Amino acid sequence: MSTRPEFFRGLVLAAATALLLNNTALAETATSRPAAGPPSVADLAEGLLDAVVNISISQNVKSDDDDAPMPQVPEGSPHQEFFDEFFKGQGGESNRPRTVNSLGSGFIIDPAGFIVTNNHVIQDADDIEINFSDGSKLKAKLVGTDTKTDLALLKVEPKKPLKAVSFGDSRKIRIGDWVMVVGNPFGLGVSVSVGVVSARGRNINAGPYDSFIQTDAAINRGNSGGPLFNMQGEVIGINTAILSQTGMSVGIGFAVPTELAMNVVNQLKEFGETRRGWLGVRIQPVTDDIAESLKMERPHGALVSGIIEGGPIAKGEIKAGDIITRFDGTDVAEIRDLMRAVGESAVGKKVDVVIIRDGKEQTVHVTLGRLEDGEHLADVQTKPNGEGAKPNEPPAAQLPATDVVLGMKLAVLDADRRKSFGIADDVDGVVVTEVQPNSAAAERRVAVGDVIVEVGQEAMDTPEDVSARVEELKSDGRRNALLMIANKTGELRFVTVRVE
């Protein structure tokens, strides 16, 4: 009986020793084993490479030096052949245009031969050639382009169906998800790079519909137009731009998301052009000052600064000064949200638009027009009418003005001042005849000849109206006055001017 405790103590000691030795061996094994990286994308890439193509373009351009005299080289000079070859290739004696070649990437979306790429890859090309992974080549024709999203659709005529890839839903990707870039960097041939999604919805001021996917997967010159794949082998973006001072990847690349690209590509395929919705309004951001002047809790929405004549807004459904906060069920946090939502809507669609007018929210109903038609109307209406002060007329500043408000000398917009400043007949309000340096108005770039149409969302007819409304806003505790200002041609904008 006396030996039993010793027996059990021996068993416990042996077990503890064995466990310690086992853990030590595991630790040594883990230390000697190389660290594992992410799963290989070899199988994924192998099934997709045939759908990615190299795009070669050529463009005939006239040399800037075609009219310059050609350097004279003595006959028989040892360098004569090099001079002859160089200058004849640049136009020289034969006066032929030189050929510029460039390379980019693209991918097949239809076995029948439809290929997506960037517009800037094929822009101004005289000849487009598609190089496939098996070494074959086909001439391509341009189906259509969209400069606003930098997309283009090409078509080749293959003898047999081509390997194609499909679009995925870019809205499902998350920051940190793995992605794969396939393209033709530096014209070396198809190559693969892998990274993660660094950010979404990036605005790099490349166009009105910026909402780029940002990735740290290497994107270099020549990758433009190539696909950005998710780990299911679906295209979720079209590689478009890099942020770099050297033109080489620094880990910040941008791709057009498929949620934006798919509608554009489908329209190009069906119509050969885009057909975007159009609301027919001019808009500007709702700044902190504008939000404060309108007693908004926070700045959001898009401020309507003007209505395009001949557009969808024909019965005053929306007016200058309204703030659009929701469009067809989509919240409008900033003007970019409104531009995208309208542009992605069908032409002729009837939509509900939520606006704030005079501090109250209301819903109006609008039938959309077509943006491509509306752009011409907008350009025509913003061009100067050609009327202005003639050389033999007295300067506008010599005309007597009345009150000085917020650093501006103001006057009634009568016939003489309208003629002197060249202000269009359909512009009404109070004309600015002088802006004092370093004043509140000068800070907001109010200029002589501008017309104050509204102050604090109330129409102005005389300088006294402006003075009274500004004093009213001061008494109400406002720090800024919201001014609707028209230029000489009638184009409207909103500015906030300090009243303190």
**329 falls in which pLDDT band (50, 70, 90)?**
very high
According to the annotation, is 47 in a ligand binding site?
Answer: no
Q: What is the pLDDT of residues 161-180, one digit of tens each?
A: 999 999 999 999 999 999 99
Q: What is the pLDDT of residues 239-273, one digit of tens each?
A: 998 877 666 778 889 999 999 999 999 999 999 99
According to the annotation, is 223 in a ligand binding site?
Answer: yes
Report whether pLDDT(195) > 50: yes
SS3 annotation, the chain: CCCHHHHHHHHHHHHHHHHHHHHHHHHHHHHHCCCCCCCCCHHHHHCCHHHEEEEEEEEEECCCCCCCCCCCCCCCCCCHHHHHHHHHHCCCCCCCCEEEEEEEEEEEEECCCEEEEEHHHHCCCCEEEEECCCCCEEECEEEEEECCCCEEEEECCCCCCCCCCCECCHHHCCCCCEEEEEECHHHCCCEEEEEEEEEEEECCCCCCCCCEEEECCCCCCCCCCCEEECCCCCEEEEEEEECCCCCCCCCCEEEEEHHHHHHHHHHHHHHCCCCCEECCEEEEECCHHHHHHCCCCCCCCEEEEEECCCCCCCCCCCCCCCEEEEECCEECCCHHHHHHHHHCCCCCCEEEEEEEECCEEEEEEEECEEHHHHHHHHHHHHCCCCCCCCCCCCCHHHCCCCCEECCEEEEECCHHHHHHHCCCCCCCCEEEEEECCCCHHHHCCCCCCCEEEEECCEECCCHHHHHHHHHHHHHCCCCEEEEEEECCCCCEEEEEEECC
According to the annotation, is 120 in a ligand binding site?
Answer: yes
What integer pLDDT is reported at residue 403 of this predicted model?
A: 64
Report whether pLDDT(38) > 50: yes
* CATH architecture under which domain 277-381 falls: Roll (2.30)
pTM for this prediction: 0.71
2.40.10.10, 2.120.10.30, 1.10.1370.10, 3.30.70.2190: CATH of 170-271: 2.40.10.10
Q: What is the pLDDT of residues 364-422, one digit of tens each?
A: 999 999 998 887 765 655 554 433 333 333 344 444 555 688 999 999 999 999 999 99
What integer pLDDT is reported at residue 13 of this predicted model?
A: 56
According to the annotation, is 438 in a ligand binding site?
Answer: no
What integer pLDDT is reported at residue 446 of this predicted model?
A: 94
Same fold for the pair 277-381 and 404-498: yes
**184 falls in which pLDDT band (50, 70, 90)?**
confident
Report the candidate in 409, 410, 407, 431 with the shortest Cα–Cα distance to residue 419: 431
Q: What is the mean pLDDT of residues 298-323?
A: 91
Q: What is the pLDDT of residues 113-166, one digit of tens each?
A: 999 999 999 998 999 999 998 889 999 999 999 999 999 999 999 999 999 999
Q: What is the mean pLDDT of residues 219-247?
A: 89
What integer pLDDT is reported at residue 372 of this predicted model?
A: 86
**478 falls in which pLDDT band (50, 70, 90)?**
confident
Give me the torsion for CA of 134, 137, 141, 147, rounded to 10°.
60
Domain ranges of the chain: 170-271, 277-381, 404-498
Report whether pLDDT(43) > 50: yes
**97 falls in which pLDDT band (50, 70, 90)?**
low
The mean of the pLDDT values for the chain is: 83
According to the annotation, is 343 in a ligand binding site?
Answer: no
**435 falls in which pLDDT band (50, 70, 90)?**
very high
What integer pLDDT is reported at residue 64 of this predicted model?
A: 53
- In one-letter notation, the amino acid at residue 27 is A
Which superfamily is assigned to 404-498 in CATH? PDZ domain (2.30.42.10)
What integer pLDDT is reported at residue 379 of this predicted model?
A: 61
Return the ∠ at Cα 265 (arms to 261 and 268), rounded to 5°.
Answer: 140
% of the chain with per-residue pLDDT over 70? 78
How far is residue 234's CA from residue 218's CA, in Å, rounded to a whole number? 18
Q: What is the mean pLDDT of residues 409-437?
A: 92
What integer pLDDT is reported at residue 149 of this predicted model?
A: 93
Q: What is the pLDDT of residues 339-373, one digit of tens each?
A: 999 999 999 999 999 999 988 999 999 999 999 88
Report whether pLDDT(77) > 80: no
- Enumerate the active-site residues: 120, 150, 224
